[in-house]
Structure 1
Amino acid sequence: MPVITEIADLKRLHERRSPRMFYDYCESGSWTEQTFRENTNDFAQLRFRQKVAVDMSNRSVAGRMLGREVAMPVALAPVGLMGMQRADGEIKAARAAKAFGVPYTLSTMSISSIEDVAEHAGPGFWFQLYVMTDEAFVDAIIERAKRAGCSALVLTLDLQALGQRHKDLKNDMTAPPRLTLKNLLNIATKPRWALEMLGTPRRSFGNIVGHAEGVTGMNNLMHWTAEQFDLTLDWEKVRRIKDKWGGPFVLKGILDAGDALAAAELGADAIIVSNHGGRQLDGALSSIRILPSVVRALEGHPNRPEIWLDSGIRSGQDILKAIALGADATMIGRAYVYGLGAMGEAGVTKALEILRKELDLSMAFCGHRRLEQVTRDILLVPQDFEGRWDRPLDPAR
């Protein structure tokens, strides 16, 4: 077993151990993948100011998300098809998150069902909802999430239509994979993955098959999914879903200060500055570039929600940079998926351990012992980092 010291080590193992179509599903963006690349590249433009001769003892990177204490201000983001990266992947990720002390968010498009994951998840078990045109399905899945003990609903706003991801189309990506000669040859090189998959009954979308009207298997599932994303989703529908849920409510996919203000007026408990990992609107700015304008727009707002940053985080230093620019917390997707695909539950734990160590040491080198002390002063930010755009990024100012 190679020595694992960084997220990139887990990424390399993930690529070796997961079928090509599912690794590509994780490691890809839409269209030219410009936004996908800039999500990570833009973090590298931010530099730290080192401080010396400061007391580094008794440090803590603990934080709070939605009023709950967390081991660090990081939640596992909703990612579809995790049960295809590793058998029972959502269950393994939820167990790792529970043991570590951070929240886990289950995707609507998970392989394991809400009910299956609930048996293994901790108190920070959240459910992510895609709004479908089948209102009966939406109502039912919200009620299922309530019964399963999910403590927050995360509503994704930036997937009313599916962004074109070339790799998924070329791989003819399905769950479970079609048994074509190309797929069989590739799976033959992943014996550990294949054996684990043979040992689980969870190989399709557990939240949908048998729950959506008329969806009984792969053929009608793909047809149903292709037609179901709600093109008419608007703020009034968002409000109705919030009222229907009746608990902590999070809006994911905010990339505009005006939308952040609308979310605050709606009464969202948290918003997630996210471009869906670069998988939707290619050419959109990276989440870390957008973050400062959202923070400024909500400054002093009487209903200011928590502001979280998602998309592009690959290290604990990225987490620290996001907090320094005003994020209250962060979400990670690919960083833990690499661990899951590489080593299952132990890999998710390893990813979290790596991130925490990097976050802790970087905070100390910047002169702080608590994350609540961290401000923009620890960063050296390029003068044009937020860009010079024809249309202001911050219409509230």
Structure 2
Amino acid sequence: MTDRQLPKWSELKPLLHPKPVVLNGTDRRLGNAVTIADLRSIARRRTPRSVFDYTDGAAEEELSLSRARQTFRDLTFNPGILRGVGTVDTTTTVLGQPSAQPFGFGPTGFTRMMHADGEAAVARVAGKMDIPYGLSTLGTTNIEDLATAAPGTRKWFQLYVWRDHGPAEDLMRRAKEQGFEALMLTVDCPVGGSRYRDIRNGFAIPPALSVKTVLDGAMHPNWWVNFLTTPPLEFASLDSWGGTVGEMMNALFDPTMSLDDLDWVRRTWDGPLIVKGIQTVEDARAVVDHGADAVLLSNHGGRQLDRSPVPLRLVPEVRDALGPDAEIMVDTGVMSGSDVVAAIALGASSVLVGRAYLYGLMAGGERGVQRAADILATEVKRTMALLGARRIADLGPQHVRLP
């Protein structure tokens, strides 16, 4: 028989640690988010369906995106032991400049649609984290305003080249005048991909106040109040558009774009040039031969051609083809710091995230972006320690096995 007795308060008191009451709703929600997936769940609850689906969705059956994420989930880490990882250094070099993390914030369109804080909030967090941030041609904050909002942030400008080269020349000139460090030329959009979620939702820029959107707005009043009481959406390259995103891309972008256009951009822009949207080894070689300083292996987050290659799988091949000194970036499907570490170990120079910080933005504005960045940074450091890597340079193919 076990002897039992009523516990004394003096014995219970040390065991009781009540969780502090957090009165601010945003802080409370973000404090409960442990992963990027948690932020995604919060974002889904707090954002109108059409806006969330624009961010979350991909082309057609969304196979490209799901395969990219599944590849990260299915890979195997090979940890090294007894490596003395009491201190882990996550700093690295990106385009010849120091970066506190091996990841940066990639360009995304219509960011103020997700939350009124928009691109300025994302850029400010990037500055605090000492990582680069890319502003999209289709961003909802213009070049000059972003430069004012985040003067200390490493800023890149992402450029689409369309039929008339004049506007692109103007955008490059403005970016250079405002101190943008690099140009990121996107080359995987000769036409717009077919995004079924957007079509079914009737998603347009700006959102049309149909019966459907009004009813959805009633379920997300905070988002609508922010949207209706903040300055109208302003685009870096155009003022307004009355159709779907895919229709706009088809109207703007040039299906005849070729390596000659890349040569023209190289002549026009005298700073670092990243070419985004590389999906074959041959194209990686070609753009480097035509003056690219870095290649970004990307299938546009799965938003253009469905069943396109998984960018992560291309990393080892492109590294072998371009050599040890080439600047090779990768995106698509990244949902954790361990995903970032895996990409670096396979040969990437750095990783760009998009949806991960947008989920944070939708979940809690600038504080949500900061929460996403903190989650990723914590996971990067922990994963490196568990792999036995004290520095980014210690990571290598021996640490990862692809399925």
Q: Is the 8 A contact 1:60 1:371 kept in 2?
A: yes
Give the Cα separation in 2 of the matches to 1:271 and 1:199. Answer: 40
Partner of 2:253 in structure 1? 229
Give the Cα separation in 2 of the matches to 1:224 and 1:306. Answer: 32
Partner of 2:367 in structure 1? 346
Per-residue deviation at 1:324?
0.8
Per-residue deviation at 1:120?
1.6
Give the Cα separation in 1 of the matches to 2:111 and 2:102. Answer: 22
Does residue 159 of structure 1 match 2:189?
Answer: yes
Partner of 2:14 in structure 1? none
Partner of 1:272 in structure 2? 296
* Secondary structure of 2:149 counterpart: coil
Q: Which deviations, in whole Å up to 9, do the C-alpha atoms of 1:97-151 show, x marking residues without a partner? A: 1111111101111111111111122341110001111221111111111122111
The one-letter code matched in structure 2 to 1:63 is T
Q: Map of 1:62-141 to 2, 5 A cutoff?
A: 62-121=91-150, 122-141=152-171
- Structure 1 stretch displaced more, 360-369 or 52-61: 52-61
Partner of 1:336 in structure 2? 357
Give the Cα separation in 2 of the matches to 1:224 and 1:283. Answer: 23
Contiguous gaps of at least 5 residues in structure 2: 1-27
The one-letter code matched in structure 2 to 1:55 is G
Q: Map of 1:1-397 to 2, 5 A cutoff?
A: 1-2=28-29, 3-121=32-150, 122-209=152-239, 217-219=240-242, 226-299=250-323, 305-382=326-403
Q: Give percent identity, aligned residues only.
A: 37
Give the Cα separation in 2 of the matches to 1:221 and 1:275. Answer: 20
Give the Cα separation in 1 of the matches to 2:236 and 2:402. Answer: 45
Q: Which deviations, in whole Å up to 9, do the C-alpha atoms of 1:289-322 show, x marking residues without a partner? A: 122111111126xxx5300111111001101110
Distance 1:321 1:136, change over 3 A: same
Give the Cα separation in 1 of the matches to 2:144 and 2:234. Answer: 15
Per-residue deviation at 1:5?
1.0
- Give TM-score scaled by structure 1 length: 0.90
Give the Cα separation in 2 of the matches to 1:75 and 1:233. Answer: 28
Partner of 2:24 in structure 1? none
Q: Which deviations, in whole Å up to 9, do the C-alpha atoms of 1:229-249 show, x marking residues without a partner? A: 011111111111121011110
* Secondary structure of 1:90 counterpart: helix
* Secondary structure of 1:117 counterpart: helix
Give the Cα separation in 2 of the matches to 1:350 and 1:186. Answer: 27
The one-letter code matched in structure 2 to 1:85 is M
Larger radius of gyration between Structure 1 and Structure 2: 2
The one-letter code matched in structure 2 to 1:61 is T
- Structure 1 stretch displaced more, 149-158 or 199-208: 199-208
- Structure 1 stretch displaced more, 43-52 or 171-180: 43-52
Give the Cα separation in 2 of the matches to 1:293 and 1:113. Answer: 37
Per-residue deviation at 1:24?
0.3
Looking at secondary structure, tell me which structure has more helix per residue: 2
How many residues get paired? 372
Q: Is the 8 A contact 1:267 1:305 kept in 2?
A: no
- Structure 1 stretch displaced more, 243-252 or 132-141: 132-141
Per-residue deviation at 1:50?
2.4
Contiguous gaps of at least 5 residues in structure 1: 210-216, 383-397
Give the Cα separation in 1 of the matches to 2:65 and 2:236. Answer: 28
Give the Cα separation in 2 of the matches to 1:101 and 1:362. Answer: 20
Give the Cα separation in 2 of the matches to 1:191 and 1:77. Answer: 29
* Secondary structure of 1:25 counterpart: helix
* Secondary structure of 1:177 counterpart: coil
Per-residue deviation at 1:220?
9.0
Give the Cα separation in 2 of the matches to 1:192 and 1:65. Answer: 38
Give the Cα separation in 2 of the matches to 1:65 and 1:327. Answer: 11
Q: Is the 8 A contact 2:124 2:153 kept in 1?
A: no
* Secondary structure of 1:188 counterpart: helix
Q: Is the 8 A contact 2:204 2:243 kept in 1?
A: no
Distance 1:220 1:141, change over 3 A: farther
Q: Which deviations, in whole Å up to 9, do the C-alpha atoms of 1:154-193 show, x marking residues without a partner? A: 0001011101000111111122210000001111211221
- Structure 1 stretch displaced more, 351-360 or 112-121: 112-121
Give the Cα separation in 1 of the matches to 2:269 and 2:300. Answer: 23
Q: Is the 8 A contact 1:320 1:363 kept in 2?
A: yes
